[in-house]
Amino acid sequence: MTSNTTGGKVALITGVTGQDGSYLAEFLIEKGYEVHGIKRRASSFNTQRIDHIYADPHAESAHLKLHYGDLSDTSNLTRILQDVQPDEVYNLGAQSHVAVSFEAPEYTADVDAVGTLRLLEAIRFLGLEKTRFYQASTSELYGLVQEIPQRETTPFYPRSPYAVAKLYAYWITVNYREAYGMYACNGVLFNHESPRRGETFVTRKITRGLANISQGLEECLFMGNIDSLRDWGHARDYVRMQWMMLQQETPEDFVIATGRQYSVREFITWSAAELGICLRFAGEGVDEVGIVETVREPRECSVRPGDVIVRIDPRYFRPAEVETLLGDPTNAKEKLGWVPEISAQQMCAEMVAADLKVAKRHALLKAHGYDIPVSVEN
Ligand code: NDP
Ligand code: GDR
């Protein structure tokens, strides 16, 4: 459809600077795509996750092109779509933090719900008939439990401004498919993580926090509802599936999950174990604390038996919680042959290793008199 410097297809990714956007861009470049990404203007650099695949735009090897833009800006999105003429659009951009959506509900609706409409309408308005559209839908749509495990037919019951905005995005994607015959589909993805996960999502907060504690950079990890249950996969596995969904003959919506569920408490315990720390939980509710029992390699770790390194802080409880998510990926497995390759435990080990590497570097610098501010925003 479109000519480009690689001779392959052209993809446009919103949210290219985020966790999934960065893995998807890598994946598509490897497949020979010319990848265009929309990045937001920020007062400081926000391309850390894609710097390694970004080359000077004049270079032959430049397969990633960045455009300034925002999902709240219709004319900007329309112009980028017109310039790029993509074969595939992946709408990954979003205000993606559930807790933050309670603080900024209107902004979340504008970007996550109306932003999706803006893209779909621009594709339709420009007559990009061959453009295929992927919408980053979410297991948060299931919210208050209606059925376990959750599958494509499970009724939705969103529990946050984020989830309600994503519900609109889900249905407007279905609507443009049915009304205009567009190739548009939803990936209903369950939680997926990686070393590139944003620092304030629960898994990364845990791996980074405990790694810092092990190196004496922080003293305690403050958590919300640690009994929450999630179906965690690896982002690398999930972006592969996003691409597979757009390669089918007819567009269809799929649930993407591992089919296994663990608690936040378990994820904390695994992460501690990766650091050689045996952690026991004591107390109940807000008094619940994680106490260190033994430390495998005391010389490599600042914590000692008896230390309290995890505490509960009600500040992190949500006005309405999604207690339990467990997906049934049977449809994706049977129709697309997709199987997740990385287990939650392997992913946890990878995340801890990455955060420990950084923590050790910071600890070394600190030991040599350099002041390393550790961000406590979480
Ligand atoms: P991230 O939060 O890591 O990335 C979000 C991306 O969206 C970032 O590139 C961000 O830019 C960009 N963005 C935010 N606001 C705007 C805006 N107004 N205009 C344009 N871009 C914007 O999310 P993930 O990579 O984890 O998730 C990707 C998508 O998948 C999101 O839509 C998320 O809601 C959805 N999802 C994620 C799941 C998960 O477990 N990770 C599960 C199910 C769905 P910047 O870098 O400048 O902040
Ligand atoms: P979630 O992910 O809300 O499922 O949304 P998050 O990692 O933020 O929370 C998972 C669960 O952990 C509980 N929790 C805490 N969460 C955070 N962030 N910080 C804490 O201190 C804490 N303590 C306990 C939460 O209450 C929750 O139950 C993610 C996002 O990526 C969405 O964009 C995506 O749509 C869904 O996953 C699927």
The CA-atom distances, in angstroms, between 325 and each of 92, 112, 145, 263 are 21, 21, 8, 10
Per-residue model confidence as pLDDT tens digits over 172-200 = 999 999 999 999 999 999 999 999 999 99
Tens of pLDDT, residues 67-100: 999 999 999 999 999 999 999 999 999 999 999 9
Structure tokens at 365: 């610098």
Question: Tens of pLDDT along 109-141?
Answer: 999 999 999 999 999 999 999 999 999 999 999
- Percentage with pLDDT > 90 across the chain: 88
- Distance (angstroms) between ligand 1 centre and the Cα of 18 equals 5
In sequence order, what are the residues at sequence separation of 6 or more whose Cβ sits closer than 8 angstroms to the Cβ of residue 299?
Answer: none
Note the ligand closest to the C-alpha atom of 141: 2
d(CA 138, CA 163): 8
Ligand 1 atom index nearest CA of 198: 3
Q: State how far the Cα of 17 lies from the Cα of 15, in Å rounded to an integer.
A: 5
- Please report which ligand is nearest the Cα atom of 256: 1
Q: Which two tokens stand for residue 92?
A: 């990954």
Strand partners, 289: 282, 311
pLDDT beyond 60 at 249 = yes
Is residue 29 pLDDT above 70, yes or no?
yes
Those residues whose C-beta lies under 8 Å from the C-beta of residue 370, and which sit 6 or more positions away, are none
Q: What contacts 14, CB < 8 A, 6 or more positions away?
A: 21, 37, 38, 69, 71, 89, 90, 91, 92, 93, 115, 119
Check: CB of residue 192 under 8 Å from CB of residue 340.
no
Residues serving a catalytic function are 138, 140, 162
- Using a 6 Å CB cutoff, which residues line ligand 1? 14-15, 17-21, 38, 40, 42, 46, 70-72, 92-96, 111, 136, 138, 189, 191-192, 198
Confidence band for 7, pLDDT divided at 50, 70 and 90? low
Atom of ligand 2 nearest to the CA of 94: 33
Q: What's residue 5's pLDDT?
A: 52
**Structural domains of the chain, with CATH:** 10-194+233-260 (3.40.50.720), 202-229+263-321+343-367 (3.90.25.10)
**pLDDT top residue among 284 and 366:** 366
CB 93 within 8 A of CB 115: yes
Token couple for 6:
């690689």
Residue whose structure tokens are 């959750």: 150
Best mutation site among 68, 81, 90, 92 for ligand 1 pocket (most ligand atoms within 8 Å of CB): 92
Cis geometry, peptide bond prior to residue 149 (ω within 30 degrees of 0): yes
Name the helix (H) or strand (E) containing 254.
Answer: strand 254-256
Ligand 2 nearest-atom number relative to CA 323: 28
Q: Ligand 2 pocket check: which of 91, 98, 116 to mutate, most ligand atoms within 8 Å of Cβ?
A: 98
Which atom of ligand 2 is nearest the CA belonging to 163? 35
Tell me the ipTM for this assembly.
Answer: 0.99
Please state whether the predicted TM-score (pTM) of the whole model is above 0.90: yes
